[in-house]
Amino acid sequence: MKTADAVVIGGGIMGASAAHFLAKRGFGRVVLLERGRLAGVSTGHSAAIVRTYYSNPITLELAKRALHMFQNDRELLGGDCGFRPIGFLLLIGERLRAAGEQILESERRHGLHVERLTVEEVADLAPPLSLDGVSYGILEPRSGYADPTRTTENLVAAARPWGLEPRAGVAATGVRQLGDRVVAVETEGGPIETNVVVNAAGPWAGRVGSWLGLKYSLRWSRESDLFVHMPVGFGALPVVSDPGLRFYLRPDGEDRIIVGLGAPKEIEPVEPDGCDPALDPGIRERIERVLFERIPALANARHLGGYASIYTITDDWHPIVGPEPGLEGYYAFFGGSGHGFKLGPPIGEALADVICGETPAIDLSPFRPGRFIDGKPLTSAWGEGNRG
């Protein structure tokens, strides 16, 4: 039987991050299992926005660490992750004025560079925007976006000399336990004996948990994005989040924009194995309606396609991370609920410390699997939804 010091199940950003930092810590031979290709589902379809605008203290600290990691990606994430610090602009209307002020103050308390902009200053920063209904803007000038696939691949490639062994195209099929501890992972290529298993299987994390008798409350939503051609001479835009019209956008290269619906929004239920990756015409119409309302100059822009992928959503829209009581050697790491890309690396770094028996710089206990049983779900100034 093959052996490993740890087996990580799932080759998205969360699995790649956990495997990378375990190997970097000198944990030994770390096998990363991915039944398809790295970043092949949710991660590869992420808008990959790197921002710090959160109200929850742990999420804020993780987002702060994530921004630092992407700013120093060659040193901390294994290579050039395509990070573009073009700024993140939030448009605040009257309905969300109080929540916006609360989070703005929270960011400042955590030492983050953030600016409150008047409507006139927003117009100067992003002239194409129609600012009807906007009371003020909040700008994170150092935030931006990255390349999600390149980031995942960098994490894996950089850690190979430290003992990371990626196995793309090899699915996990079960986890063996002896008494109250894990002892092996069954795979399509045969069993791997190990004392540490990280469940980073994203939409399929519930299935992996069931192999050990664990039941996780998860929902899945079909999430769509479209691409619009950026006309010549249109000018530069930062990443824009518009909670009033409930959409976001960001540049994607030199000549197109990626656009998707934002929170709070209805969940579009889907099963992980049955998600149609094609962009639904009705969803395209909904996205274009709000996009053209905010940026009328794009109304005649050329449509360049789109896609649909999957959010894995927990009961409080925050990740489930950490050990399960009474099950030695097993660690959960899933449920990004739309935040998994940016939070994956700092959580992976902290989880590696936990697995190595060290105290992480950022305490992950608020994400523990048992928080729902304990009656301590995480909350947000935005209420229910995926803003955090």
The tokens of 119 are what?
Answer: 């409507």
**3-class secondary structure, 98:** helix
Specify the residue for token string 């703005």: 104
Residues 229-239 have pLDDT tens digits of 998 888 889 99
pLDDT at 383: 58
Half-sphere exposure of 303 (CA within 13 A, CB side): 14
Phi, psi of 3 (to 5 degrees): -130, 155
Helix (H), strand (E) at residue 253 = none
Residues 372-388, mean pLDDT to the nearest whole number: 75
What pTM was computed for the model? Answer: 0.97
pLDDT at 55: 87
Phi, psi of 211 (to 5 degrees): -65, -20
How much is the mean pLDDT over the chain?
95
Residues 121-170 have pLDDT tens digits of 999 999 999 999 999 999 999 999 999 999 999 999 999 999 999 999 99
CA 225 from centroid of its chain's CA atoms: 15
Residue ranges and CATH numbers for the domains of the chain are 2-45+149-216+316-371 (3.50.50.60), 85-143+219-313 (3.30.9.10)
Per-residue DSSP letter, 44: T
Half-sphere exposure of 34 (CA within 13 A, CB side): 24
Helices and strands per DSSP (H, E), number in the chain:
9, 20
Q: Single out the residue of 148, 153, 125 nearest to residue 138, CA to CA.
A: 125
Residues 261-311 have pLDDT tens digits of 987 778 999 999 989 999 999 999 999 999 999 999 999 999 999 999 999
